[in-house]
Structure 1
Amino acid sequence: MAQGGSMKVGRLDAIRSHLYANGPSTIQAIAEAVGASLATIRRDLQILEDEGAIDRVHGGARIAEGSSVEVAFQERANQNLAAKRALAGACYAALKPHGSVFLDAGTTVLQLAKLMRVNPIPQRVFTNGLAVAQELLDVPKLQVVVLGGQLRSENASLVGPQAEAMLDGLWFDQLFLGASAIGEDGAIYSIDAAEASLNARMLSRSAERFVVADASKFGTMSTYKVAPLSGADTVVTDSALTPPWRRRLAELGVRPLIIDSSGDVPGDPAIEPEGEAA
């Protein structure tokens, strides 16, 4: 029974993802994409329509108005999932019991929250991420505080002057901050101005600052500068990080914590010679 329920949930997710990626689709196209019978797809579409996730149209379905943002967030959360889980494992190992920790709204940090749910240790957790807060709902040993502010639906986060004002009255032992991009200028960047401003305030209100970003984020740019990467203490990333960037982190005075896909931490990565495989 449990296995059948799991298969059903996976099929519903697959239907939502297909409709998000491909737009309005016929029942036949959905059935072929998901690998299920027409009768099964019709039942699944009825469930999704009852949940408000999709709209039925003649001969097919489409994502319901207003729900595409949620699907986009889930799609982003599931990208590079193995790498995100490996990075989250390293972050979990760095948590200090009985401390105050801030978790931002990034999808990699969400994986850290999932670990904290499975293996909770006493913490006061602060976040501006609704998905993070929901993950930690009613978890024993955790006290969870959510910032107030304006809802940024694209990232399921709370931002703006109210959130920043709340941060001004708080101090955190540890911060785990995701990054949209880390530019060639050695700075952290975000795609949203309000998110960038709030992230900068997080860095200024934390004693130990972890920036969590897979190797693909390095050498890329986004619109709004958050802060110099040198404002972090540790960068948690994966073993695909290039040797030049490993040396760059050392030059910036930032500790590189480099994790491979199995979750292991290689030896000191910052001193590998140029041209050696990352």
Structure 2
Amino acid sequence: MLPVERQKKMIDLLMVQKVMRMPALQEEMEISIDTLRRDINALAKQGKIKKIYGGVKLAEPKLGEISMEERMINHLDEKTDIAKTCHAHIEEGDCIYLDSGSTTFQIAKYIKEKRNLTVITNSVPVILELMNSHIELIVIGGKVRKNEQSVVTYDYLFNFHQLNIQKAFICASGITIEKGISDYNVEEALARKKIIDLSHEVYVAADSSKFGKNVTVNITGLDNVNYVVTDKKVEESFIKQFSEVETELMVAGE
């Protein structure tokens, strides 16, 4: 296993466990203690983890939200499972919206062979992924957020109400039963609110690490969301909570 692969695996483990002692981490990684220390030193130098007495923990993001580049590799297996589940709900002839985010980007990889599919998006990675496919692409115009590789728009730049979206696939940085879905950026949240209002069906595609978090900006309550698609690492307590609301929780990979 390459160092970058080992280090990604370590980050994924810490995303779930939060704090790990050296013996447990070495056992999970199946590597020597010297290799483990080298990887820990490399990740600590990058600011991704913090050393604690006898172990390590995940470093808190300095500005709340980690970069798109990091999100593209974090929880990749879980996001792939989520994307496959979302793909199964996309039919030929649909007009769908793919939000800007690392999970919706994975969805784009699985829909290239769909016939007569229209994709509306504000995601630069989604645009590049589908550029040479047979899919009809509609790009929302506006201000480019370079760090998020997305476009945020305003009513005077784009007539949202002319859109007829069957299914919207939305990302979120936080999901709670009480507050619904939330994100870190106001402009991204406003665009998502508009798309949710215009869509016949709304799917929130979010890995299990987003559950139980209510971050900076509220997007919408769960009463405006038809489905939440997540991975099989979601805690049982959240599954039970979703049984009490109308929003359906889909657990991918099961």
- Normalising by structure 1, we get a TM-score of 0.65
Query: What is residue 242 of structure 2 aligned with on the other side?
Result: 249
SS of residue in 2 equivalent to 1:114 = helix
Which structure dedicates a bigger proportion of its chain to helix?
A: 1
* In 1: Cα distance, 2:70 partner to 2:153 partner: 25
Q: Which amino acid aligns with 2:252?
A: I
Distance of aligned partners of 1:135 and 1:163 in 2 relative to their CA distance in 1, 3 Å threshold: farther
- Contact 2:177–2:222 under 8 Å retained in 1: no
RMSD between aligned alpha carbons? 2.4
Once the two structures are superposed, residues 165-200 of structure 1 have per-residue CA deviations (whole angstroms, 9 ceiling, x without a partner) of 432221201111111111352311010001011111
Query: What is residue 123 of structure 1 aligned with on the other side?
Result: 117
Percent identity between matched residues is 26
Q: Which amino acid aligns with 2:74?
A: Q
* In 2: Cα distance, 1:150 partner to 1:135 partner: 20
1:199 aligns with 2:192: yes
Query: What is residue 181 of structure 2 aligned with on the other side?
Result: 188
Q: List aligned pairs for 1:258-273, cutoff 5 A.
A: 258-260=251-253, 264=254
* In 2: Cα distance, 1:120 partner to 1:100 partner: 11
Paired residue total: 196
Give 1:104 deviation, angstroms: 0.4
Give 1:252 deviation, angstroms: 2.1
Distance of aligned partners of 1:167 and 1:185 in 2 relative to their CA distance in 1, 3 Å threshold: same
* In 2: Cα distance, 1:163 partner to 1:126 partner: 18
Give 1:163 deviation, angstroms: 8.0
User: Structure 1 unaligned runs (5+)?
Assistant: 1-9, 18-31, 34-70, 265-278
Q: Which amino acid aligns with 1:129?
A: S
Selected match of 1:227 from 220, 225, 228: 220
Q: RCO greater where, 1 or 2, for CA within 8 Å and sep 6 or more?
A: 2
1:149 aligns with 2:142: yes
* In 2: Cα distance, 1:226 partner to 1:235 partner: 14
* In 2: Cα distance, 1:93 partner to 1:164 partner: 33
Mark the structure with the bigger radius of gyration.
1
1:111 aligns with 2:106: yes
User: Structure 2 unaligned runs (5+)?
Assistant: 9-37, 40-65
Distance of aligned partners of 1:226 and 1:122 in 2 relative to their CA distance in 1, 3 Å threshold: same
Query: What is residue 4 of structure 1 aligned with on the other side?
Result: none
Once the two structures are superposed, residues 96-132 of structure 1 have per-residue CA deviations (whole angstroms, 9 ceiling, x without a partner) of 1111000001100000001123x33320110011111
SS of residue in 1 equivalent to 2:194 = helix
* In 2: Cα distance, 1:213 partner to 1:184 partner: 14
Query: What is residue 174 of structure 1 aligned with on the other side?
Result: 167
Distance of aligned partners of 1:173 and 1:164 in 2 relative to their CA distance in 1, 3 Å threshold: farther
**Most deviating of 73-82 and 192-201:** 73-82
- Contact 1:181–1:221 under 8 Å retained in 2: yes
